[in-house]
Amino acid sequence: MRLLNVFLATSALTLFASAASAVDLEFYFPVAVGGPAAGTIQSLTEDYMAAHPDVKIDAIYTGSYADTTTKAITAVRGGNAPQLIISLSTDMFTFIDEEMIVAWDAYVTEEEKESWIGGFYPAFMANSQTEGKTWGIPFQRSTPVLYWNKEAFAKAGLDPEKGPANWAEMVEMGKKLTVKDASGNVTQWGVHIPSSGFPSWLWTGIVAGNGGLLADDTGTKVTFNSDAAVGALEALVALSATDGVMAPGILDWGGTPKAFFEGQAAMIWTTTGNLTNVRTNAPFDFGVGFLPGLTKNGAPTGGGNFYLLKGSTDEELQAAADFVKWATAPEQAAKWTIATGYVAPRPDVWETQTMKDYVKDFPQALVARDQLDYAVAELSTFEGPKVTQLLNSALEAAITGQKSPKEALDAAQAEADAILAAYR
Amino acid sequence: MNRRTWIHAWLMLLPAFVFLIAFTHLPAVTTLIDSFWTTGKGRRAAVFTGLGNYRKMLEDPIFIKAMVNSAVYAAITIPASILLSLAMALLVHRSFRGVSLMRMAFFTPTVLPLIAVANIWLFFYAPGFGLIDQIRLVVGLPSANYVGQPDTALYAVAAVTIWKEAGFFMIFFLAALQTIPQSLREAAAIEGCGRWTFFRLVTLPLIMPTTLFVSVNAVINAFRLVDHVFVMTKGGPDSATMLLLYYIFETGFRFWDTAYAAALTVVLIAILSVVGIGQFFLADRRVHYK
C-alpha cells in the first residue's frame, strides 16, 4: 500500500512538472545541401532553449525537401502535425490547398509586420505571400550563379578576372573555351547548364533575363509560351544545337561540380549552395558572377521557408513563431549563412560584424546577395509539383530536340491551363 | 474433424490472416474504392466520379507513354534476362578451375541493392568521364550521353535491370540442371545424339517448370523494379523512362493526386493478375514433361 502511495505521489509530481514546463514544440527540417546544416539547426534550437527554459523544441531531421513535405502531409492527415516545418517555398500553394498551414499574420504584432516581415528581401517574399497574407518565412534560401574557371579563361586568351556580362558574351567566350582534340572530339565545353530533374529552375532565370515571368502571385495563372519564354528556351537549346558550346542532351546536376573540377566545362551554372564545395575542391582559381541575361540581369530564387502548421493551440503556435523570429534575427541568421552557404535572407544580416568578417575573406558570397535585386520568384502554383513537372518535361523535350521550343511550350501552357482552371 | 481441431486451426492461422488482411486485402479494397472518387483536398472534399479517373487515363499522354514504355521495358528485360541467365547457368554447370569464383561473379549483382547498382551505372554512363565514354574515346568515338537522350535512356535503364536479374535467375536454372539424371546424358551419348539436340530434346523440356517459374518472376519484376529510375532518370528525359509503377509513385506522393494514383494501381494489379494467371493456365499444359 505504501508503495502504491509513493507511486501515485511521483506520478502526480511528474504530471505537475510537465504541465509547468509550458510549451513542447515539434519542428521538422530537411537538409538539401552538403555540410553541417543539421548540426547547425540542432545547436540553434539548443541555444534558444537555454535562453527560454519554458520552451522545449524537438528538432526532427526529415530527409530531403520532398520527404519533409510527404511526412508533414501525412502527419497532418493523421492528426498529429508538428507546429513548425521548413519546406520548399514553392510548396506554399500545395499547403494552402491542403488547408494545413496558418498564416503568420496572427502571430506578429502590427509593428513586427513592418520591422520583421518587411525586413526580408522582396525576392524571397515573392514565394511566401499570397491572398494578402504571409504564409512562409524565408530561411534556407539560395539563388544560382555562374562559376568560371580562371585558368581556362587565361589559356583561351580571355581576361581571367572578367566573367560574361550577358548571354551573347557567354556564347562568345564559350566558343573560345570549347576545346577539341585531334580527332574532333570535345575535351572541354564552354558552358554547362544542368538540366536533369528540374530544368525549369535555371530556365526561370533565363526567362527573367529575357524580361519574362512564368507565373503570377495568385498561383492560378502561368505564362509558359510568352515571347520572352520561347526566346529563352530557343537560346538555351541553341547552346548545344547551333553555338556548339555545351554538351548535347540532359546534363546531370550531381555531375556538374565534378565536370567543373575535372576541366570538362569552363563555366557552370549552379546554386550558391555549392560555393563552399567549389571553394574546397576546385584545383584552380575560380570566379563567381551573375547569371548572364539575354536582355537584362535575371535569376530565380530557391530553397526553403518556415511554415506554421494547423492543429496546435494558439499558445504553441505563438511559441513557434517566437522561435522563428529569433532564428531569423541577424546574429543567428549570420551563423546559419556562414555554416551552410545559404543566402542571408535579410539586409540587416549583412550589416553584422560576423558577416562583414566573412565576406572580407570570401567576397564571392556577395555576388549572390547583389543578384537578389534582379531575382524573381521560383515557379509556384496550385498543383505545383504537377504543373512544374509538365513544364520540366516540355523543357526536356526541347533540349533533347524532340520538339521545337515553341511547340513544347504551347503544349505545356495548354496542359497547365487545364489543371489550373479548377482554381480560378 | 472435431470442433476443437477447427478452433486450433483457426487460431494457428489467425496471425497470418490478421497481417494479410490488414496489409494486403484491406489496402487493395480501399484502393479500388478510392479509385472511383476524386482526390479530396482541404478546400474541396472528395466527390464520387465513377469511372472518371479511368477515363482520364485514356486522355493522359504520360499514362499512355508509361504503358508503352513498360511494354517495351518488359519485352526487352524478360527474354534477355532469362536467356542470359540460362546461358550463364549452362556455362557454370560444369566443373573447371575457378567455377565457384565464376558463379559468385555472376551472382554478385543480385546481392547489391538496386539503388547502389544504379549509382554505379550512372557513373558508367556519365558523359565525358564515365567508364563507357572513356572506352569510346580510346577507340575514337564521340562522347555519348546515354541516360540524357530520350532515344537511348530506356535501353540504358533496361540494361541495368538485366544485369541485376540474370544472376538471380541463374541460380534457379543451375539447380534445375543439376537435377537432370546423368543416365539420360549417357543414353543420349550411346544413341549418338549431338549436344544441341540433347539440349533441345532433353534439357529444355526437363527444365520447363523452372523456366515458367523464372518467367513469372521476370514479368512481375519488369513492373516492380523501378528503384533505379529514381536514381538515374526520375522518369525523364521527357518521360522517356516513365514506367507505370514510377508514374504511380509520382502521382501519389509528388502530385498528391492519390485518387488517380489509386486508379493507376488498379490498372497495374489487373495487368499483373491477367499475365500471371494466363501464364499458369496456358503454359501449364505444356510445361510438365510426360
Look at residue A373 and tell me if it is in a domain.
Answer: no
pLDDT of residue A202 exceeding 90: yes
Q: Could you read off the pLDDT of A383-400 as tens digits, one per residue?
A: 888 899 899 999 999 999
> What is the structure's pLDDT at A217?
83
pLDDT (0 to 100) of residue B155: 94
**Chain mean position to CA B260:** 23
Q: Do B236 and A197 touch (CB under 8 A)?
A: yes
Domain residue limits at A346: 2-142+302-365
CB proximity under 8 Å: B 54-73 to A: 62
- A160 and A275 both lie in a single domain: yes
Count of domains for chain A: 2
B76 touches chain A (CB under 8 A): no
Q: Which residues of B touch A97 (CB under 8 A)?
A: 41-43
The reply to whether A389 touches chain B by the CB within 8 Å rule is: yes
**10-residue mean pLDDT series, chain B (290 residues):** 84 92 91 88 76 88 92 94 93 85 89 89 84 85 84 92 92 91 86 85 87 88 88 84 93 87 93 83 65
Do A297 and A182 sit in the same domain of this protein? Answer: yes
Whole-angstrom Cα distance, residue B264 to residue B32?
10
- Average pLDDT of the residues in A70-77: 88
A262, B253: Cβ pair inside 8 Å?
A: no
Regarding whether A337 and A286 lie in a shared domain, the answer is no
A70 with B253: Cβ contact below 8 A:
yes
Contact between chains at B129 and A397 (C-beta distance less than 8 A): no
* Residue B131 contacts A where some CB pair is shorter than 8 Å: no
Q: Which CATH number, 1.10.3720.10, 3.40.630.30, 3.20.20.70, 1.10.260.40, labels domain B52-287? A: 1.10.3720.10
Residues of B in Cβ contact (< 8 Å) with A184? 142
Distance CA A185, CA A207 (A): 31
Quick one: chain A helix, strand, coil %, rounded to 5?
50, 15, 30
Indicate whether A208 pLDDT > 80.
yes
| Structural domain contains residue A370 | no
Are residues A335 and A349 both part of a single domain? yes
Closest Cβ–Cβ partner in A73, A97, A402 for B238: A402
Within-domain flag for A109 = yes
Does the CB of B149 have a partner CB in chain A at under 8 Å? yes
A194 vs B contacts (CB less than 8 Å)? none
Q: Determine, for residues A252 and B253 on separate chains, whether the beta-carbon distance falls below 8 Å.
A: no
Cis preceding linkage at B237, omega within 30: yes
In terms of domains, do A283 and A350 share one? no
Instruction: Specify the pLDDT at position B138.
Output: 83
The whole-number pLDDT of residue A18 equals: 45
Check residue B285 and give its pLDDT: 65
- pLDDT at position A33 is 60
| B49 part of contact set with chain A, CB < 8 Å | no
A67–chain B nearest CA distance, Å: 9
Whether residue A371 is contained in a domain is answered as no
- Using the beta-carbon criterion (under 8 Å), do A99 and B148 form an inter-chain contact? no
Whether A245 and A186 have beta carbons less than 8 Å apart is answered as no
Going by pLDDT thresholds of 50, 70 and 90, the confidence category of residue A274 is confident
A231 with A315, same domain: the answer is: no
A173 and A274 share one domain: yes
CATH number, position A414: 3.40.190.10
A250 touches chain B (CB under 8 A): yes
Q: How far is CA B212 from the centre of its chain?
A: 14
Q: Which of helix, strand or coil describes residue A401?
A: coil
A410 Cα distance to chain centroid: 27
Closest CA of chain B from A413, distance in Å: 15
Q: Can you give B40-82 as a three-state secondary structure string?
A: CECCECCCECCCHHHHHHHCCHHHHHHHHHHHHHHHHHHHHHH
Same structural domain, A361 and A215: no
Picking from B129, B145, B254, the nearest residue to A262 by CB comes out as: B129
Q: Give φ, ψ of A198 to 5 degrees.
A: -135, 65
Contact A203, A212 (CB under 8 A): no
B205 in A contact zone (CB under 8 Å) = no
- Distance, in Å, from the CA atom of A294 to the CA atom of A292, rounded to the nearest integer, reads 7
d(CA A251, nearest CA chain B) in Å: 7
Same domain, A73 and A179: no
**Chain B residues close to A249, C-beta within 8 Å:** 127, 145, 148-149, 237
- Considering only CB atoms, B238 lies closest to which of A66, A184, A393, namely A393
Q: What is the pLDDT of residue A20?
A: 43
Average pLDDT score, chain A: 88
Contacts of B35 (CB under 8 A, 6+ apart): B53, B54, B259, B262, B263, B265, B266
- Whether residues A179 and A283 share a domain: the answer is yes
CB atoms within 10 A of CB A113: 13
Size of interface A-B (CB pairs under 8 A): 89
Domain boundary among A365, A388, A413: A365
B43/A contact by beta carbon, under 8 A: yes
A402 touches chain B (CB under 8 A): yes
> What per-residue confidence (pLDDT) applies to B202?
85
Tell me, yes or no, whether A215 lies in a domain: yes
Buried b (16+ CB within 10 A) or exposed e, A15-25: eeeeeeeebeb
Does residue A296 sit in the same domain as residue A316?
no
Number of residues assigned to chain A = 424
Residues A282 and A312 in one domain: no
Q: Is residue A50 one of the residues assigned to a domain?
A: yes
**Residue B50 touches chain A, beta carbons under 8 Å:** no
Which span out of A214-223, A232-241, B50-59 was modeled with the highest average pLDDT?
A232-241
Q: Which of A98, A16, A196, A6 is nearest to B257 (CA)?
A: A98
- Taking contacts as CB-CB distances below 8 angstroms, the residues of chain B near A248 are 145, 149
Question: Given CB atoms, is A186 within the 8 Å cutoff of chain B?
Answer: yes
Question: How far from B223 is each of A231, B57, B154, B271, CA to CA, in Å?
Answer: 40, 18, 14, 10
Minimal CA separation from B239 to chain A, in Å: 7
Structure confidence by residue, pLDDT tens digits, A149-174: 999 999 999 999 999 999 999 999 99
Say whether the ipTM exceeds 0.90.
no
- DSSP secondary structure letter of residue A272: G
From B254, which residue of chain A is nearest by alpha-carbon distance? Answer: A385
Set of chain A residues whose Cβ sits within 8 Å of the Cβ of B129 = 258-259, 262, 264
pLDDT-based confidence at residue A297 (cuts at 50, 70, 90): very high
* B144 CA: distance to closest CA in chain A (Å): 9
Q: CB contact, 8 Å: A79 with chain B? A: no
Contact at CB, B234 and A402, closer than 8 angstroms: no
Do residues A33 and A340 lie in contact, with contact meaning Cβ atoms separated by under 8 Å?
A: yes
Residue A181 has pLDDT above 50, yes or no: yes
- Looking at residue A1, what is its pLDDT? 44
- Which residue, chain included where needed, has cell 504541465? A19
- List strands edge to edge, sheet with A186-192: A179-180, A186-192, A265-271, A144-149, A286-289
Q: Which of A387, A369, A417, A303 is nearest to A121 (CA)?
A: A369
